[in-house]
């Protein structure tokens, strides 16, 4: 069997993801919070590209999956935990230490669940909030509300506490979140709203210098939670049996 000469390409992007996470940690420790937040966002971009490259080069491997998980623990678990701790939670003493660790602990639990439940590389939904989305939500919150000269208001800092707890719990929940649609004509035709939401968000994120990223993620997170509530109450409201077996197949566990 001929060896795939592009097998190293996805891992290269995974390594760039990991390195960005390392830079995010260093910047957070040095008090450069905006820079730290941006490196988390950059890590998330590299994380999305490694999966894309794996599909394009047909070089997805178990090694790549494991390396991706290790990189994600650093960039989207440790890095945001260090960021929120150095930014504000260190002021809360031992409680702050515990709260800041939740993003890392629950993120690692989510990735471990993914590794034992992985059944394929091409699913329509994630089970639980993806760890890059959790980290990016925290990072984009800092980008939107923190100012290097004036800092952040007390209320805005306190908001980080329920946000961190909610994001941590969502990661290990069974709520289904949509995957990033492929950049293709087929994907655009099959799910136009989903396609334009994701890719218009990228364009607006660039045009607004990251200011739109946080509200974009809030809508994404709420959409999954609302859909889950609707599906939960459908039987009670008399709409049982509306989900086909084919749709259930699409909801199998897959993660990044």
Q: Confirm if 197 and 131 have CB atoms less than 8 A apart.
A: no
CA distance 186 to 180: 14
CATH no. of 9-250: 1.20.120.1760
Q: What pLDDT is stored for residue 199 in this prediction?
A: 78
Q: What pLDDT is stored for residue 239 in this prediction?
A: 59
* H or E, element range at 176: strand 176-178
Q: What is the maximum alpha-carbon separation in the chain?
A: 61
Q: What pLDDT is stored for residue 92 in this prediction?
A: 96
Q: What pLDDT is stored for residue 244 in this prediction?
A: 41
Residue (of 218, 244, 250) closest to 127 by Cα position = 250
Q: What pLDDT is stored for residue 76 in this prediction?
A: 97
Give the torsion through C-alpha atoms of 77, 83, 84, 86, to 10 deg: 130
Q: Confirm if 37 and 217 have CB atoms less than 8 A apart.
A: no
- Which one-letter DSSP state was computed for residue 147? B
CB-based contacts of 142, cutoff 8 Å, min separation 6:
33, 34, 36, 37, 83, 87
**How many Cβ atoms are within 10 Å of 97's Cβ, its own excluded?**
13
CA distance 207 to 76: 24
Q: What pLDDT is stored for residue 185 in this prediction?
A: 67
CB-based contacts of 147, cutoff 8 Å, min separation 6:
none
Q: What pLDDT is stored for residue 205 in this prediction?
A: 86
Q: What pLDDT is stored for residue 4 in this prediction?
A: 65
Q: What pLDDT is stored for residue 123 in this prediction?
A: 61
Residue (of 210, 230, 72, 242) closest to 144 by Cα position = 210
Q: What pLDDT is stored for residue 237 in this prediction?
A: 66
Q: What pLDDT is stored for residue 220 in this prediction?
A: 92
Compute mean pLDDT per 10 residues along the chain, 256 residues long, and list them.
69 95 98 97 92 76 86 97 97 97 96 75 74 96 92 94 97 87 68 78 86 94 88 70 40 35
**How many Cβ atoms are within 10 Å of 15's Cβ, its own excluded?**
15
Q: What pLDDT is stored for residue 247 in this prediction?
A: 39
Q: What pLDDT is stored for residue 86 in this prediction?
A: 97
Q: What pLDDT is stored for residue 34 in this prediction?
A: 96
- Which pTM does this prediction carry? 0.86
Q: What pLDDT is stored for residue 243 in this prediction?
A: 45
CA distance 129 to 92: 27
The residue assigned the tokens 């993120």 is 107
């Amino acid at each position: 069997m001929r060896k795939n000469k592009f097998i190293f390409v996805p891992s290269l992007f995974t390594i760039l993801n990991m390195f960005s996470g390392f830079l995010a940690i260093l910047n957070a420790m040095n008090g450069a919070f905006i820079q730290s937040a941006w490196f988390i966002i950059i890590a998330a971009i590299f994380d999305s590209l490694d999966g894309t490259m794996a599909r394009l080069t047909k070089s997805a491997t178990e090694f790549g999956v494991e390396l991706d998980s290790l990189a994600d623990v650093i960039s989207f678990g440790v890095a945001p935990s260090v960021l929120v701790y150095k930014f504000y939670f260190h002021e809360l003493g031992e409680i702050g230490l515990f709260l800041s660790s939740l993003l890392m602990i629950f993120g690692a639990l989510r990735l471990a669940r993914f590794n034992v439940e992985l059944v394929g590389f091409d699913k329509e939904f994630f089970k639980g909030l993806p760890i890059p989305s959790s980290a990016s939500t925290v990072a984009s919150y800092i980008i939107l509300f923190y100012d290097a000269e004036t800092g952040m208001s007390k209320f805005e800092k306190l908001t980080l506490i329920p946000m961190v707890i909610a994001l941590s719990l969502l990661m290990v929940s069974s709520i289904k979140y949509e995957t990033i649609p492929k950049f293709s004509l087929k994907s655009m035709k099959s799910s136009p709203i989903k396609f334009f939401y994701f890719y218009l968000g990228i364009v607006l994120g660039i045009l607004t210098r990251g200011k739109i990223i946080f509200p974009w993620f809030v809508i994404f997170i709420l959409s999954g939670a609302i859909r889950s509530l609707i599906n939960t109450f459908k039987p009670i409201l008399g709409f049982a049996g509306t989900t086909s077996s084919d749709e259930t197949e699409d909801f199998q566990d897959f993660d990044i």
